[in-house]
Each structure stands twice: as C-alpha cells, then as structure tokens.
Chain A
Amino acid sequence: MQSRRSFIKKTVLGASAIGLSPFLKSCNAPDAKLTILHTNDVHSQIDPFPESHSRWPGQGGFARRAQLINSIRQEHENVLLLDCGDIFQGTPYFNVYKGKLEIDLMNKMGYDAATLGNHEFDNGIEALAENVKKARFPFVCSNYDFSESVMNGLTIPFKIIEKGPLKIGVIGLGIELAGLVNPKSYKEAVYQEPIEEANKSAQKLKQEENCDIVIAMSHLGYKYKYEKVSDVIVAQNTRNIDVILGGHTHTFMDEPDRIVNLDGDEVIVSQAGWGGLRLGRLDLTLSSNHKKSVALVNSIYHV
C-alpha cells in the first residue's frame, strides 16, 4: 500500500500536469518594459553651454532635457527619472540662488528620486536640509547616517516605486565626505561602508519586499586606478542589484559596463557624463518567470 504522502505527491503532480496547466499558462504574464532615464553631475548647468564652448558648444540645458523627457514619457508607459548627485555647484545660478532653482526645475520635471553628491554639501548641511525640504521627490541615501544632524528624517535608505506591473527598488550610495568636503559643511553626517549598506538595502528590497528589480543611484564614481570603492567594486561585491547608475567621475560612456556580481548575475553599470550634456537612457525588457509558482507547488507536499 502506498503511503499517504506519496499518494498526495502523485495526485498533485498529476493535477498540475493535466488539470491545472491552463492556470499555469495564464500565469505567464507578458513581458514588461521599463525605461530608466538618468542624469548625474548636472552641476547647476541651467542653460545650454555657450555656442563658443570649445568642447560642448550649445549643448545641455534644462529646458531641452525636459522636452526630451516629456516626449519619451509620451511614447513609453513605464518611465523612471533618476539623478545621481552633484545637482549643485558650477554656475552662478547656484552661487546666487543657492540651489532653489535646480530643485524647482527637478520638481517640475517629475524626477522620481535622487541621491546626494558631495557638492550638495557645499553651502553647509543646514542649507542642504532647506533644499531637500523643497524637493517633491525623495533623496535616497543608503549609506549616510544623518540621525544626529539637521538632515535627520529628510532622506530615506531605499524607495519602492511601482510602474505598471513592476515593483522597483531604489537605493542611493554616497561618497566618503572626509577629505572631499569641509568637515564644517557636513558636520554630523556619518559615511558608512557602501558595499555593506548596499547589500543590506538591496537584500531587503529583493528578498523581503519582492521587488522585481533593484537600481542603485550612486555618487561613488565609476572606477579608479587606485584602491577606492567605486561602482565597479560595489557591483562585484554585492548581490541583488541589477543596475548601478553612477556619478562623480563625470564619465561619458558609449555602452554601459556589465559586471558579474557575487551571485554570478550581471550588473549594468552606467553613467551619463556631466553638466546635463547627455540624458542616460536604459530600456529594459523584463520577463515574468515562475520561480514563485514552482516553489509554492512544491510546498503542497506538506499539506
């Protein structure tokens, strides 16, 4: 006589193979598309560079970028707009208006999230707090501890954004401030090891919050010739991150870099130059898989 357990096992397998196959098929959702638009190191370049500029004549400018973003949004459903830091500093607009205009414009353009660059601290952490309060998009900082500072509660360690069927997890990685920013400007802000914090936040987003994709906005820099934590190093030493959008090193790329992470999965590493001269665009096609369904069918054995 067969045991009860093996009888159920056979029944379930038979049922799923014959009777329930239509359900499995209906579970096969169509591919989802996600368009990620990203900027970094815009450095207060409100207007296009002058026509007389030796390298970027007449390029850049917020009004043009906004127009491009608008037209992409009209053509595509799931569009994400992210900035990877150093929004501020570089033109008299910042010296005179202290960052108000940059934040106003990013609000109007509908940025979904941003992370902080080192130059965000240039007018001091108090001035930064005032600017962050005016933003209608979140500043995501996974490795700055602001709990003892005036920035306490003004940033979040991760953000979940839903676009169509997709659940997108976003984290933010900031560069070490010591040596780069006057200590009087960042005061009680504490920099934490980015690899560890990235792993923690990404694990939470992917495993606990069931995000379909995790994107890191980073201001660590693409990569360095000397030993310093960078986007490439973070990609190599973490799990659960699909895309790293970078900044700080003002890197123009022809193609994103593709780095293998601790799980052997590919991480897309990208950066869009600086000064609003380029709009980075990453179009992802995501297919649904049935890892969860399979796992749940298996769990029936224990009924």
Chain B
Amino acid sequence: MKYINVQIVSIYVLVVVLFSACQNTDYRVKSSSNDYVVIDSLVGESSAIEMLIQPYRDSLQAEMQKTIGVAERELSGGFPEGLLSNFVTDLVRQECNNLDGFEPVDVSIVNVKGLRIPLQMGEITVENIYQLMPFENEIVFLTMTKEQMEMLFNFMASVGGDGISGASFGIKEGKAINIKVNNKALEDRTYIVATSDYLADGGDHFEVFRKAIKREGTGLKVRDAIIEHIKALSVEGRKVNSELDKRIYYAE
C-alpha cells in the first residue's frame, strides 16, 4: 500500500515536470544557409525611407554648393613640389599651431597622392574640398628623432619629393642633401611632425612614421583644416594661392 502511494506520487510529479519542460523547449541550431545580398537597383526602393532622406539630400546639396573662397589661380599637385601640396601643407602647419595645448609643429607632411583633384581658379565650394580630400584623415603629431627625420627626408627624396612645409632639401642621386628645418640644419633634438593618421600608420610607404617615438591625435581632420583655413582667408579678403619656393629641388 505504501509503495503504491509512492508510485502514484512519482508518476504525478513526472507528468507535471514533463508538461512544464515542453513549454520550455530548448532549441539548437541544426542547419544554416547564408547569403550576402547585393544591394542594387534590382532590389527596388522603399518610398517611406526615400521620403525621409529627400529633404536632407536637398539641404546637403545646397550646403555643398556654398562658396567658401576664391582661388587666385589653378593649384595642382606636382613633383618634387607643387602649388597644391605647398598650399595644403602650409595651412596644416598654420592651423596646427593654432590648436590649444599642443607643442609647436616643426614640419607638416601631406602626400600629393592624397590630394585627389586640383583646385580650379575661381570660386571654391565645400564640395570641391570634399573632392580634393574625400578621406576622413585626422591630423596627428609625431615626435621624431634627428635620425628619423633624416630617414624621412631620404625617403621623400627617393620618391622624387612630396608635400612638405617647414623644411627644405635637395635631391641628389635619390638622397636628401642640404636638409633644413626652419632654415636650420638638423640638430640633435626631437622634432614634431604633423601629418595625417593615414601616413602615420605607414600609408603611401611612409614606413618611417611608424618608428616615431610618440604619436598624439589632434581630432582635427585634414579636410576641416582646409575648409576652415579657406574660410578664414575669405574673411580677411584674401584669395587662395601659393608659390613654388624650391622647398624640394633637384640638386644634380
């Protein structure tokens, strides 16, 4: 009799437990298939989303067409130096020296290949600067030794020059000679180089930047520096211009 009771109780418990277990079904991945669907015109278009975007697109278009300055003449890139890279590196150095809480910059470097279109003579729009500098590159400060600076200039000489401000050198047999920073020969001290995060990461073969003894981000984008500088020139009634001043030259 006692056993029968126990038996009934245990069956009762089992039924209850199994019922509750059913409600708590445990799933496991059995199989999977995948796709990476190409988003193109064949997909169609959500009109609700398009309607949400349209006013932003229109007002952005208007913003991009705004004139921020005027170019005195066409500024284009070139080697060993160029009007465009001289303009951009000079303004980067100047804008960096306006930043609070940073040491003054000795040299600024922006690669010519990173400046995607020439600036045409005449009115400059925001869109032109986006076309000139489509990348979101941030300006970073690198602290470099005298030896690293020599390596840097020798590298630039080996590729036939590039965008530089604050320094000058001649190219002889693919090497840098008569190196000057702020019109003075290299001294046995550290130098501050302002460049883009892209180059600082060793982009465009600027491997030497990865050896820098210190790196500091500024939060300032190269593009924003250009836009702000041109706007400031306009406020002063000045036009966008630069000169070829033999900062990099062939000595042979």
Contacts and interface: CB of A to CB of B under 8 A. Distances in A.
A59 to B, nearest CB: 5
Interface in B4-53: 6-7, 9-11, 13-15, 17-19, 21-22, 24-41, 43-50, 52-53
B63 interface: yes
B64 A92 contact: yes
Nearest to B136: A89
A285 interface: yes
Interface residues of B, number: 54
B40 A286 contact: no
B52 A104 contact: yes
Contacts of B13: 300, 303
Contact of B48 (A46, A66, A296): A66
Interface in B50-65: 50, 52-53, 56-57, 60, 63-64
B217 interface: yes
Query: What band does the interface of chain A fall in when counting residues whose beta carbon is under 8 Å from B?
Result: 35 or more
Given A15-B14, A27-B21, A47-B53, A58 B40 contact: yes
A64 B36 contact: no
16 contacts: A11-B6, A23-B15, A27-B25, A46-B56, A48-B41, A63-B47, A66-B46, A67-B46, A68-B37, A97-B56, A212-B27, A213-B27, A256-B32, A280-B35, A293-B22, A297-B17
Interface of B: 3, 6-7, 9-11, 13-15, 17-19, 21-22, 24-41, 43-50, 52-53, 56-57, 60, 63-64, 126, 130, 136, 138, 217-219
Interface of A: 4, 7-8, 11-12, 15-16, 19-20, 23-24, 26-27, 29, 31-32, 46-48, 58-68, 70-71, 89-90, 92-93, 96-97, 101, 104-105, 108-109, 122, 165-166, 181-185, 210, 212-213, 242, 252-256, 268, 270, 272-273, 276-293, 296-297, 299-300, 303
